[in-house]
Amino acid sequence: MNQVEASAPGKLYIAGEYAVVEPGHPAILVAVDQFLTVKVRPSETVGTIHSSHYSSIPLQWTRENGKLIVDERENPFHYLLAAIDYTERYVKECGNELSIYHLAVESELDSANGLKYGLGSSAAVTVATVRVLLKFYGMSESDELVFKLSVLAHLSVKSNGSFGDIAAATYTGWLAYSSFDREWVKAKLNTHSIQSIVALDWPAFMVEKLTPPDNLKLLIGWTGSPASTTDLVDQVKAKREAKAQSYQAFLAESKACVEQMIQAFRSGSLPDIQIAIRKNRHILKTMSDSTGVSIETSTLAQLCEDAESYQGAAKSSGAGGGDCGIALFDRESSLIDLVSKWEAHQITLLPLQVYTRS
Ligand code: PMV
Ligand code: MG
Protein backbone atom coordinates (compact mmCIF):
# COMPACT_ATOMS: atom_id res chain seq x y z
CA MET A 1 0.00 0.00 0.00
CA ASN A 2 1.15 3.54 -0.73
CA GLN A 3 1.00 6.51 1.57
CA VAL A 4 -2.44 7.50 2.89
CA GLU A 5 -3.31 10.76 4.59
CA ALA A 6 -6.17 12.43 6.45
CA SER A 7 -6.68 15.97 7.66
CA ALA A 8 -8.82 17.48 10.39
CA PRO A 9 -9.64 21.18 10.77
CA GLY A 10 -9.30 23.48 13.76
CA LYS A 11 -12.37 24.67 15.66
CA LEU A 12 -13.81 27.61 17.56
CA TYR A 13 -16.64 27.78 20.04
CA ILE A 14 -19.42 30.23 19.20
CA ALA A 15 -21.65 29.73 22.28
CA GLY A 16 -22.54 27.43 25.16
CA GLU A 17 -19.06 27.07 26.71
CA TYR A 18 -18.61 25.42 30.11
CA ALA A 19 -22.27 24.36 30.29
CA VAL A 20 -21.56 21.99 27.37
CA VAL A 21 -19.26 19.98 29.65
CA GLU A 22 -22.48 18.69 31.33
CA PRO A 23 -24.35 16.09 29.24
CA GLY A 24 -27.35 17.41 27.34
CA HIS A 25 -26.29 21.08 27.38
CA PRO A 26 -25.80 22.34 23.84
CA ALA A 27 -23.02 24.45 22.37
CA ILE A 28 -22.49 25.94 18.92
CA LEU A 29 -19.13 25.50 17.19
CA VAL A 30 -17.48 26.01 13.82
CA ALA A 31 -14.64 24.23 12.08
CA VAL A 32 -12.08 26.61 10.54
CA ASP A 33 -9.93 26.26 7.43
CA GLN A 34 -6.60 25.56 9.13
CA PHE A 35 -5.69 21.91 9.18
CA LEU A 36 -3.67 19.22 10.84
CA THR A 37 -2.64 16.41 8.51
CA VAL A 38 -1.48 12.91 9.41
CA LYS A 39 0.30 10.74 6.82
CA VAL A 40 0.93 7.03 7.11
CA ARG A 41 3.09 4.78 4.92
CA PRO A 42 3.93 1.12 5.47
CA SER A 43 7.24 0.00 6.92
CA GLU A 44 8.91 -3.41 6.95
CA THR A 45 10.32 -3.70 10.45
CA VAL A 46 10.48 -0.52 12.53
CA GLY A 47 7.77 2.12 12.65
CA THR A 48 8.30 5.83 13.34
CA ILE A 49 6.17 8.72 14.60
CA HIS A 50 7.32 12.12 13.49
CA SER A 51 5.96 15.53 14.33
CA SER A 52 8.15 18.57 13.80
CA HIS A 53 5.26 20.60 15.12
CA TYR A 54 5.22 19.08 18.61
CA SER A 55 8.92 19.25 19.21
CA SER A 56 8.82 23.02 18.72
CA ILE A 57 5.94 23.46 21.17
CA PRO A 58 7.06 23.95 24.76
CA LEU A 59 5.75 21.33 27.17
CA GLN A 60 4.11 22.97 30.17
CA TRP A 61 4.87 21.88 33.71
CA THR A 62 4.20 23.00 37.25
CA ARG A 63 5.77 22.17 40.60
CA GLU A 64 3.76 20.32 43.23
CA ASN A 65 5.27 19.31 46.58
CA GLY A 66 8.71 19.93 45.15
CA LYS A 67 8.10 17.66 42.14
CA LEU A 68 8.06 18.63 38.51
CA ILE A 69 4.60 17.72 37.18
CA VAL A 70 3.67 17.52 33.50
CA ASP A 71 -0.08 17.66 32.93
CA GLU A 72 -0.61 14.76 30.52
CA ARG A 73 -3.73 16.41 29.23
CA GLU A 74 -1.63 19.30 27.84
CA ASN A 75 0.69 17.00 25.91
CA PRO A 76 -0.59 16.40 22.36
CA PHE A 77 1.60 13.32 22.00
CA HIS A 78 -0.60 11.45 24.48
CA TYR A 79 -3.65 12.09 22.33
CA LEU A 80 -1.85 10.83 19.25
CA LEU A 81 -0.76 7.62 20.99
CA ALA A 82 -4.23 7.09 22.50
CA ALA A 83 -5.82 7.58 19.05
CA ILE A 84 -3.50 4.90 17.61
CA ASP A 85 -4.25 2.57 20.53
CA TYR A 86 -8.07 2.76 20.33
CA THR A 87 -8.24 2.70 16.54
CA GLU A 88 -5.97 -0.35 16.37
CA ARG A 89 -7.96 -2.16 19.06
CA TYR A 90 -11.08 -1.53 17.00
CA VAL A 91 -9.36 -2.65 13.76
CA LYS A 92 -8.16 -5.83 15.45
CA GLU A 93 -11.58 -6.59 16.96
CA CYS A 94 -13.00 -6.32 13.44
CA GLY A 95 -10.70 -9.19 12.47
CA ASN A 96 -7.91 -7.29 10.70
CA GLU A 97 -4.15 -7.79 11.05
CA LEU A 98 -2.13 -4.88 12.43
CA SER A 99 1.02 -3.76 10.63
CA ILE A 100 4.01 -1.41 10.91
CA TYR A 101 4.13 2.11 9.48
CA HIS A 102 5.72 5.52 9.50
CA LEU A 103 3.34 8.18 10.75
CA ALA A 104 3.94 11.91 10.27
CA VAL A 105 2.00 14.92 11.55
CA GLU A 106 1.93 18.37 9.94
CA SER A 107 -0.05 21.17 11.55
CA GLU A 108 -1.22 24.66 10.66
CA LEU A 109 -3.04 25.01 13.97
CA ASP A 110 -0.34 26.83 15.87
CA SER A 111 1.69 29.77 14.63
CA ALA A 112 5.13 29.07 13.16
CA ASN A 113 6.90 30.16 16.33
CA GLY A 114 4.88 27.75 18.45
CA LEU A 115 2.28 30.25 19.66
CA LYS A 116 -1.07 28.70 20.49
CA TYR A 117 -4.23 30.16 18.93
CA GLY A 118 -6.58 27.81 20.78
CA LEU A 119 -7.91 26.15 17.64
CA GLY A 120 -8.02 22.67 19.14
CA SER A 121 -4.90 20.83 17.98
CA SER A 122 -5.36 17.92 20.42
CA ALA A 123 -8.79 17.23 18.96
CA ALA A 124 -7.54 17.63 15.37
CA VAL A 125 -4.55 15.32 15.86
CA THR A 126 -6.85 12.67 17.33
CA VAL A 127 -9.49 12.91 14.60
CA ALA A 128 -6.91 12.95 11.77
CA THR A 129 -5.04 9.98 13.28
CA VAL A 130 -8.21 7.91 13.71
CA ARG A 131 -9.25 8.71 10.12
CA VAL A 132 -5.89 7.99 8.54
CA LEU A 133 -5.54 4.64 10.32
CA LEU A 134 -9.06 3.53 9.40
CA LYS A 135 -8.10 4.39 5.80
CA PHE A 136 -4.73 2.65 6.10
CA TYR A 137 -6.42 -0.56 7.28
CA GLY A 138 -9.03 -0.29 4.52
CA MET A 139 -11.98 0.23 6.87
CA SER A 140 -14.97 2.51 6.32
CA GLU A 141 -14.79 5.78 8.26
CA SER A 142 -18.20 7.26 9.08
CA ASP A 143 -18.17 10.54 11.02
CA GLU A 144 -19.90 8.87 13.96
CA LEU A 145 -17.25 6.12 14.16
CA VAL A 146 -14.41 8.67 13.93
CA PHE A 147 -16.06 10.83 16.63
CA LYS A 148 -16.59 7.91 19.01
CA LEU A 149 -13.09 6.41 18.63
CA SER A 150 -11.58 9.89 19.12
CA VAL A 151 -13.65 10.38 22.27
CA LEU A 152 -12.52 7.01 23.71
CA ALA A 153 -8.92 8.10 23.12
CA HIS A 154 -9.53 11.41 24.96
CA LEU A 155 -11.35 9.70 27.82
CA SER A 156 -8.28 7.49 28.35
CA VAL A 157 -6.13 10.63 28.73
CA LYS A 158 -8.71 11.79 31.34
CA SER A 159 -9.51 14.88 29.32
CA ASN A 160 -11.98 17.02 31.31
CA GLY A 161 -13.76 18.74 28.41
CA SER A 162 -17.01 18.31 26.53
CA PHE A 163 -15.46 16.83 23.34
CA GLY A 164 -17.11 19.62 21.34
CA ASP A 165 -13.66 20.18 19.78
CA ILE A 166 -13.71 16.58 18.50
CA ALA A 167 -17.24 17.05 17.13
CA ALA A 168 -16.19 20.18 15.21
CA ALA A 169 -13.03 18.55 13.81
CA THR A 170 -15.07 15.50 12.73
CA TYR A 171 -18.35 16.87 11.41
CA THR A 172 -17.03 20.34 10.29
CA GLY A 173 -19.05 23.43 9.28
CA TRP A 174 -21.44 25.12 11.73
CA LEU A 175 -22.62 22.71 14.40
CA ALA A 176 -24.88 22.36 17.42
CA TYR A 177 -23.47 19.76 19.82
CA SER A 178 -24.38 18.25 23.20
CA SER A 179 -22.07 15.88 24.99
CA PHE A 180 -23.08 12.35 25.94
CA ASP A 181 -23.23 10.83 29.41
CA ARG A 182 -19.53 10.21 29.98
CA GLU A 183 -20.06 7.97 33.06
CA TRP A 184 -22.26 5.69 30.95
CA VAL A 185 -19.56 5.39 28.27
CA LYS A 186 -16.81 4.84 30.85
CA ALA A 187 -18.84 2.05 32.50
CA LYS A 188 -19.30 0.36 29.10
CA LEU A 189 -15.50 0.26 28.71
CA ASN A 190 -15.39 -2.28 31.56
CA THR A 191 -17.91 -4.63 30.03
CA HIS A 192 -17.92 -4.16 26.24
CA SER A 193 -15.53 -4.39 23.30
CA ILE A 194 -14.61 -1.17 21.47
CA GLN A 195 -16.48 -2.51 18.44
CA SER A 196 -19.73 -2.87 20.39
CA ILE A 197 -19.38 0.44 22.29
CA VAL A 198 -19.08 2.44 19.08
CA ALA A 199 -22.16 0.66 17.70
CA LEU A 200 -24.34 1.73 20.67
CA ASP A 201 -26.42 4.92 20.90
CA TRP A 202 -24.73 7.14 23.46
CA PRO A 203 -27.23 8.82 25.84
CA ALA A 204 -27.64 12.61 25.43
CA PHE A 205 -25.19 12.79 22.47
CA MET A 206 -26.50 15.25 19.87
CA VAL A 207 -24.99 16.74 16.69
CA GLU A 208 -26.90 18.95 14.28
CA LYS A 209 -25.42 20.69 11.26
CA LEU A 210 -26.51 24.34 11.15
CA THR A 211 -26.83 26.58 8.11
CA PRO A 212 -25.78 30.17 8.81
CA PRO A 213 -27.93 32.95 7.32
CA ASP A 214 -26.41 34.40 4.09
CA ASN A 215 -25.87 37.80 5.69
CA LEU A 216 -23.88 36.45 8.65
CA LYS A 217 -20.20 37.41 8.81
CA LEU A 218 -17.95 35.86 11.45
CA LEU A 219 -14.73 37.60 12.52
CA ILE A 220 -12.17 36.03 14.81
CA GLY A 221 -9.88 38.14 16.96
CA TRP A 222 -6.79 36.70 18.65
CA THR A 223 -5.60 38.24 21.92
CA GLY A 224 -2.05 36.90 21.61
CA SER A 225 -2.10 35.41 25.11
CA PRO A 226 -2.43 31.63 25.35
CA ALA A 227 -4.86 30.12 27.86
CA SER A 228 -5.09 26.58 29.22
CA THR A 229 -8.57 25.17 28.69
CA THR A 230 -7.79 22.14 30.88
CA ASP A 231 -6.82 24.38 33.78
CA LEU A 232 -9.79 26.77 33.41
CA VAL A 233 -12.28 23.88 33.24
CA ASP A 234 -10.68 22.36 36.38
CA GLN A 235 -11.03 25.72 38.15
CA VAL A 236 -14.72 26.02 37.28
CA LYS A 237 -15.33 22.37 38.26
CA ALA A 238 -13.69 22.99 41.64
CA LYS A 239 -16.22 25.78 42.35
CA ARG A 240 -19.26 23.83 41.16
CA GLU A 241 -20.15 22.37 44.59
CA ALA A 242 -19.64 25.51 46.66
CA LYS A 243 -21.69 27.53 44.19
CA ALA A 244 -24.21 24.76 43.48
CA GLN A 245 -27.26 27.00 43.26
CA SER A 246 -25.79 29.64 40.97
CA TYR A 247 -24.06 26.93 38.92
CA GLN A 248 -27.39 25.16 38.30
CA ALA A 249 -28.89 28.50 37.28
CA PHE A 250 -25.95 29.04 34.91
CA LEU A 251 -26.52 25.62 33.30
CA ALA A 252 -30.24 26.23 32.81
CA GLU A 253 -29.72 29.74 31.40
CA SER A 254 -26.97 28.63 29.03
CA LYS A 255 -29.13 25.78 27.75
CA ALA A 256 -32.14 28.05 27.14
CA CYS A 257 -29.94 30.66 25.43
CA VAL A 258 -28.17 28.21 23.08
CA GLU A 259 -31.49 26.54 22.23
CA GLN A 260 -32.79 29.99 21.22
CA MET A 261 -29.69 30.47 19.11
CA ILE A 262 -30.19 27.10 17.40
CA GLN A 263 -33.78 28.13 16.68
CA ALA A 264 -32.52 31.42 15.22
CA PHE A 265 -30.19 29.46 12.88
CA ARG A 266 -33.10 27.28 11.78
CA SER A 267 -35.21 30.34 10.98
CA GLY A 268 -32.23 32.16 9.43
CA SER A 269 -32.48 35.27 11.63
CA LEU A 270 -29.16 37.07 12.14
CA PRO A 271 -30.65 39.61 14.61
CA ASP A 272 -31.92 36.75 16.80
CA ILE A 273 -28.54 34.99 16.64
CA GLN A 274 -26.89 38.26 17.70
CA ILE A 275 -29.30 38.69 20.62
CA ALA A 276 -28.44 35.18 21.82
CA ILE A 277 -24.65 35.85 21.50
CA ARG A 278 -24.97 38.93 23.72
CA LYS A 279 -27.10 36.99 26.19
CA ASN A 280 -24.57 34.14 26.32
CA ARG A 281 -21.78 36.67 26.96
CA HIS A 282 -23.75 38.01 29.90
CA ILE A 283 -24.50 34.51 31.27
CA LEU A 284 -20.79 33.59 31.13
CA LYS A 285 -19.88 36.86 32.86
CA THR A 286 -22.27 36.12 35.74
CA MET A 287 -20.79 32.61 36.10
CA SER A 288 -17.27 34.05 36.00
CA ASP A 289 -18.13 36.58 38.75
CA SER A 290 -19.63 33.84 40.91
CA THR A 291 -16.77 31.34 40.50
CA GLY A 292 -13.96 33.92 40.39
CA VAL A 293 -12.54 32.28 37.24
CA SER A 294 -11.44 34.90 34.72
CA ILE A 295 -13.08 34.13 31.38
CA GLU A 296 -13.44 37.51 29.66
CA THR A 297 -10.03 39.15 30.11
CA SER A 298 -9.70 42.91 29.63
CA THR A 299 -8.41 42.33 26.06
CA LEU A 300 -11.42 40.11 25.27
CA ALA A 301 -13.73 42.76 26.77
CA GLN A 302 -12.07 45.36 24.51
CA LEU A 303 -12.50 43.05 21.50
CA CYS A 304 -16.25 42.86 22.25
CA GLU A 305 -16.61 46.59 22.88
CA ASP A 306 -14.87 47.43 19.58
CA ALA A 307 -17.08 44.93 17.70
CA GLU A 308 -20.22 46.35 19.36
CA SER A 309 -19.34 49.84 18.08
CA TYR A 310 -19.80 48.34 14.56
CA GLN A 311 -23.12 46.68 15.48
CA GLY A 312 -21.41 43.33 15.97
CA ALA A 313 -22.40 40.82 18.65
CA ALA A 314 -19.25 39.48 20.28
CA LYS A 315 -18.01 37.29 23.11
CA SER A 316 -15.04 35.26 24.25
CA SER A 317 -14.66 31.92 22.45
CA GLY A 318 -14.14 28.66 24.32
CA ALA A 319 -12.69 28.72 27.80
CA GLY A 320 -11.58 32.36 27.45
CA GLY A 321 -8.79 33.64 29.69
CA GLY A 322 -6.99 34.65 26.46
CA ASP A 323 -6.95 32.87 23.07
CA CYS A 324 -9.70 34.16 20.76
CA GLY A 325 -12.96 36.08 20.72
CA ILE A 326 -15.66 35.87 18.05
CA ALA A 327 -17.85 38.61 16.57
CA LEU A 328 -20.91 38.23 14.34
CA PHE A 329 -21.85 41.03 11.92
CA ASP A 330 -24.20 41.76 9.08
CA ARG A 331 -22.20 41.15 5.88
CA GLU A 332 -23.17 44.64 4.64
CA SER A 333 -21.39 46.48 7.46
CA SER A 334 -18.12 48.19 6.61
CA LEU A 335 -15.52 46.80 8.98
CA ILE A 336 -12.22 48.19 7.66
CA ASP A 337 -11.73 50.57 10.60
CA LEU A 338 -12.60 47.85 13.09
CA VAL A 339 -9.52 45.88 12.12
CA SER A 340 -7.24 48.84 12.84
CA LYS A 341 -9.12 49.51 16.06
CA TRP A 342 -8.49 45.90 17.12
CA GLU A 343 -4.83 46.25 16.12
CA ALA A 344 -4.50 49.36 18.27
CA HIS A 345 -5.76 47.23 21.16
CA GLN A 346 -3.29 44.36 20.47
CA ILE A 347 -5.97 42.17 18.91
CA THR A 348 -5.11 40.38 15.66
CA LEU A 349 -7.76 39.49 13.12
CA LEU A 350 -7.22 35.82 12.22
CA PRO A 351 -8.04 35.44 8.51
CA LEU A 352 -9.99 32.18 8.99
CA GLN A 353 -13.07 30.96 7.16
CA VAL A 354 -15.54 28.36 8.33
CA TYR A 355 -14.65 25.02 6.73
CA THR A 356 -17.26 22.47 5.67
CA ARG A 357 -16.08 19.12 4.32
CA SER A 358 -17.92 18.35 1.09
O1 PMV B 1 -10.90 27.12 24.91
P2 PMV B 1 -11.47 26.10 23.98
O3 PMV B 1 -11.69 26.68 22.61
O4 PMV B 1 -10.69 24.83 23.97
O5 PMV B 1 -12.94 25.74 24.48
C6 PMV B 1 -13.25 25.18 25.71
C7 PMV B 1 -14.74 25.13 25.91
C8 PMV B 1 -15.22 24.63 27.28
O9 PMV B 1 -16.65 24.52 27.20
C10 PMV B 1 -14.87 25.62 28.37
C11 PMV B 1 -14.62 23.27 27.62
C12 PMV B 1 -15.08 22.16 26.71
O13 PMV B 1 -14.33 21.19 26.54
O14 PMV B 1 -16.20 22.22 26.19
MG1 MG C 1 -9.20 28.37 24.54
Cα separation of 134 and 145, whole Å? 10
The one-digit pLDDT tens for each residue of the chain (358 residues) are 789 999 999 999 999 999 999 999 999 999 999 999 999 999 988 888 888 766 656 666 778 888 887 777 777 788 999 999 999 999 999 999 999 999 999 988 876 666 678 899 999 999 999 999 999 999 999 999 999 999 999 999 988 999 999 999 999 999 999 999 999 999 999 999 999 999 999 999 999 999 999 999 999 999 999 888 989 999 999 998 888 899 999 999 999 999 999 999 999 999 999 999 999 999 999 999 999 999 999 999 999 999 999 999 999 999 999 999 999 999 998 888 999 999 999 999 999 999 999 8
Beta-carbon contacts of residue 190 (< 8 Å; ≥ 6 apart): none
Structural class in CATH, domain 216-349? alpha beta
Residue 306, amino acid = D
Q: Of 77, 234, 92, nearest to 157 (Cα)?
A: 77
Calculate how far, in angstroms, residue 116's C-alpha sits from the geometric centre of ligand 1: 14
Half-sphere exposure in the Cβ direction for 14 (13 Å, CA): 32
Residue of the nearest CA to atom 5 in ligand 1? 318
* Neighbour tally for 3: CB within 10 Å: 13
Calculate how far, in angstroms, residue 280's C-alpha sits from the geometric centre of ligand 1: 14
Q: Tell me which residues have their CB within 5 A of the ion that is ligand 2.
A: 118, 229, 318-319, 323
Count Cβ atoms within 10 A of the Cβ of residue 184 and give its class: 0-12 exposed, 13-18 middle, 19 or more buried. Answer: middle
Instruction: Check residue 73 and give its pLDDT.
Output: 75
* Neighbour tally for 78: CB within 10 Å: 21
Cα separation of 324 and 316, whole Å? 6
For ligand 1, pick from 11, 14, 222, 229 the residue to mutate: most ligand atoms within 8 Å of CB: 229
Calculate how far, in angstroms, residue 51's C-alpha sits from the geometric centre of ligand 1: 25
- Give me the count of residues in the chain: 358
Half-sphere exposure in the Cβ direction for 91 (13 Å, CA): 23
Q: Is the CB of 164 under 6 A from ligand 1?
A: yes
Q: Is the CB of 26 under 6 A from ligand 1?
A: no
Instruction: Check residue 114 and give its pLDDT.
Output: 61
Residue 40 host element (H or E): strand 27-42
The CATH number for 4-210, chosen from 3.40.1350.10, 3.30.230.10, 3.60.21.10, 3.20.20.70, is 3.30.230.10
Cα separation of 123 and 157, whole Å? 12
Point out the ligand 1 atom lying closest to the alpha carbon of residue 160.
13
Point out the ligand 1 atom lying closest to the alpha carbon of residue 229.
1
CA–CA distances in Å: residue 61 to residues 70, 75, 221, 269: 5, 10, 28, 45
Using DSSP's 3-state secondary structure scheme, residue 177 falls into strand
Q: What is the pTM (predicted TM-score) of this model?
A: 0.94
Instruction: Check residue 112 and give its pLDDT.
Output: 63
Cα separation of 309 and 345, whole Å? 14
Q: Is the CB of 118 under 6 A from ligand 1?
A: yes
Q: Is the CB of 86 under 6 A from ligand 1?
A: no
Q: In 20-65, which residue ranges form alpha helices assigned H by DSSP?
A: 52-55
Calculate how far, in angstroms, residue 74's C-alpha sits from the geometric centre of ligand 1: 13
Residue of the nearest CA to atom 13 in ligand 1? 161
The dihedrals phi and psi of 108, each to the nearest 5 degrees, come to -105, 10
Residue 215, amino acid = N
Provide the residue ranges of all domains of the chain, joining segments of one domain with +. Answer: 4-210, 216-349
Q: Is the CB of 22 under 6 A from ligand 1?
A: no
Instruction: Check residue 211 and give its pLDDT.
Output: 98
Instruction: Check residue 118 and give its pLDDT.
Output: 87
Cα separation of 238 and 344, whole Å? 36
Q: Of 157, 293, 158, 128, nearest to 227 (Cα)?
A: 293
Angle at 123 between CA 286 and CA 111, to 5 degrees: 85
Residue of the nearest CA to atom 14 in ligand 1? 162
- Rama region for 326: left / alpha / beta (φ>0; ψ in -120 to 50; rest): beta
Given a contact cutoff of 8 angstroms between Cβ atoms, the answer to whether 327 and 270 are in contact is: no
Q: Is the CB of 296 under 6 A from ligand 1?
A: no
Radius of gyration of the chain (CA): 20
Calculate how far, in angstroms, residue 160's C-alpha sits from the geometric centre of ligand 2: 14
Residue 143, amino acid = D
Q: Is the CB of 325 under 6 A from ligand 1?
A: no
- Asked if the domains at 4-210 and 216-349 fall in one CATH topology, the answer is no
Point out the ligand 1 atom lying closest to the alpha carbon of residue 236.
10
SS3 content of the chain, % helix, strand, coil (to 5): 45, 25, 35
